[in-house]
Structure 1
C-alpha cells in the first residue's frame, strides 16, 4: 500500500488549478492531468458511461513530464454527480443495536431477548425486504480541501463514514444479477447529519426531514479518489473513522443488509441512475449519537476505507454566529 492508502494501480482524482478543478490520473504518489483526448471522452461522466480502464492503465505506466507529486496539488471531490442517493439502516449490526436499545427501554424484554428479536427482524428484512433510500443534494458534494462549516443552528452535527458507489453505464430497472455491470468505481463519503433536525417537531406525523438534516453546505465530503471497480471488492472493505485520533467507527461492508448489487438494482427501479451519480451504502456503528459526542469547532475527522485512501475533514464553527 502506498502512502495514499490506495491499493489499486491507479485511480482518478480532481485537483485545483486556479479557480477551476481539473481531472487527474493518480498512480502511487504522483498525479498527471487528463485531457479529453487522454480519456477518449468529452469529460469524466462521459468516460464513466463506458469506462476504458485499459486506456488509463497505459497512461499510468508511462514515464513522462506530465507527472507531478501528488502532495503538490490540492485535491477536491473526485466526482461530479447529477444525483446523490443514500441508503439508510443498511448495516445489520448497527440497526440491531438501535432496535434492541429501543425495545429494552420501551418493553419488558431483556437485553438478550430484545437483541434476538431485532436480529430476526433484520434477517427477515434482508431476505424479503427492499433497501431504504433517500436523496441528497449534489451541491453538498465537496472535497476534504473544504473545511466543514458547522451551522450555528444546532450543536448535534454527526458523522457517518460510508462507502459510495460511483455509477458507470446508465442503470434503469436493472436486475441484481446485472447491477454490477453499471458500477464504474467507488469512493469515500462522510454523510454529515444534524441529529435534532431528523424528525419534525412541529408535526411528528410527517416523519423524517432529510433535507434539513443532511443538506447544509459541504455536508457530503467526498473522495479524495475514485477507484475503478475492477480493483475493489466492495463487499468486504474495512470502514474506519477517527475523531481527533480516537477511533469511533470500525466496521466492514460485509455487514451490509443489502449488498452493492441489491442497492444499485433497488435504486434504479424508480429513476435512471446516471454516469457519475453517487449511491451511498449506509454507515456502520460508531456515530456521534452512539458516543454522545458531536462535532465541534477544531475537530478533525480522518476517514479511511480499505484500498480507497484516506479523507481528512476539518471542522470550523460558522463565522459570526
Structure 2
C-alpha cells in the first residue's frame, strides 16, 4: 500500500519526498508494507531496504545501538548500494514509516530554552506588576543565566507507548480541546550510561531524531489539588502523543548538535523557529544529570526541550484537520496530520 497524504479540512500539505531535509549519508528507519509487520530498514538517497539480523550484526535495534558508534560502520557499505538497481531498495513513498526507535525509557526536559522561558515569564506577569516589560525580561534573563550556571536540568518521564511513527495520524482525545505542539531534538542513547561525566556523555549518544511532544495544556496542572503541581502523565502521554522520526540519524553525521535549526509550521504558518544553541543545559549536561540516578539504556529517548512558539501563548491550539510540518536541520522532515477523536453523542 503506498503512503499518501490524507485530505485535511484546513490545508493540504505540499507533496514532498520523505527524505527531504535528510543530509546524512544513511540513516535507520522502521517501516511496514501493506499489512505487514514493522521491520528495520536502512535509508539512503530517498530509498529504503530491509535489514536482516546478519546485516545488522545484532539481534535487535537496541543491541545494535549498544555498540554505537562502531556498529554504524557495518552499514556504510550497504548504503552505497542505494544507487543500484537492486530490488531490495524501494522508494520511501511506497512504505509506511513507523517510529525509528523502540525506547524502553523516555526522559523529557522541561524549560530548557532560554528565550522560551524568558518569553513565558514576560507573557505571564501579574497584572499588578509595575515593572516595564523590558525590565521584566532582563530579570528573567538573569534568572536563566544563574540557573544555567548553578542549577540542574528539570526532567520528567514519558511513556514509550506514546511514541508513534510519522505516517500515523495524531488523534486528539475528546476529553480536552487544548492540545499543543512542542518540537524537540531527541537524543537516542547508545551504550548504557550510568553516572557519566559531561566529558564522556557524548560517547553514549548513538544518534538523533525528531520528536513532537504533544501536550494537553489544561491537564498539566492539577486543579483538584494544586499543591501536587504538574500532572505529566495525563498532560502528555495519550496514544500517539510523541510523533517520532522519520529517521534515526547516526551521531557521526551530526557535527554539532548545538547549532541545529528547528522549525515547525502549522498549516503552512511558521510557529516555532529556533536554534539549539539557545539550550540552557547542553546535551552533555543533560545526559550526565539524567544518568545520575538511573541508567540510560540503549535506544532510550532523551528529549532536550522545546523552543518558543507553542500554541498556548497565542491561544491557537490543535484542531481537526491541522497539519504540522516539523524540520530539524539534517534530520529530515516530519509531517503530522491531525484529526479529532470521534466522540459519540
* TM-score of the aligned structures, taking structure 2 as reference length: 0.91
2:225 is the counterpart of 1:203: yes
How far apart are 1:292 and its partner, in Å?
A: 1.1
CA offset digits 1:257-279 (Å, max 9, x no partner):
00111111111011100000000
Hey, what does 2:78 align to over in structure 1? 59
Hey, what does 2:332 align to over in structure 1? 309
Quick one: structure 1 residues 103 and 32, their matched pair in 2 at CA, closer, same or farther if it must change by over 3 Å?
same
After the TM superposition, which residues 124-139 of structure 1 pair with which residues of structure 2 at under 5 Å, given as runs?
Answer: 124-139=146-161
Equivalent pair of 2:174/2:343 in contact (CA under 8 Å):
no
Q: Which runs of 4 or more aligned residues in structure 1 lie more than 4 Å from their structure 2 counterparts after TM superposition?
A: none
SS in 1 for 2:188: strand
CA offset digits 1:125-161 (Å, max 9, x no partner):
0011100000000000001211111111111100001
Hey, what does 2:174 align to over in structure 1? 152
Unaligned runs of 5+ in 1: none
Of residues 191, 194, 199, the one that matches 1:172 is: 194
How far apart are 1:54 and its partner, in Å?
A: 1.4
Equivalent pair of 2:29/2:97 in contact (CA under 8 Å):
yes
How far apart are 1:106 and its partner, in Å?
A: 4.7
Distance across 2 between alignment mates of 1:152 and 1:125: 38
Hey, what does 2:90 align to over in structure 1? 68
Hey, what does 2:61 align to over in structure 1? 44
Equivalent pair of 1:4/1:28 in contact (CA under 8 Å):
no
2:206 is the counterpart of 1:184: yes
CA RMSD for the aligned pairs? 1.2
Distance across 2 between alignment mates of 1:10 and 1:206: 45
* Count of matched residue pairs: 320
Unaligned runs of 5+ in 2: 1-16
Distance across 1 between alignment mates of 2:155 and 2:206: 20
Hey, what does 1:26 align to over in structure 2? 43
2:276 is the counterpart of 1:253: yes
After the TM superposition, which residues 240-279 of structure 1 pair with which residues of structure 2 at under 5 Å, given as runs?
Answer: 240-279=263-302
SS in 2 for 1:61: helix
Hey, what does 1:296 align to over in structure 2? 319
How far apart are 1:104 and its partner, in Å?
A: 5.7
Equivalent pair of 1:239/1:252 in contact (CA under 8 Å):
yes
Distance across 2 between alignment mates of 1:15 and 1:102: 43
* TM-score of the aligned structures, taking structure 1 as reference length: 0.97
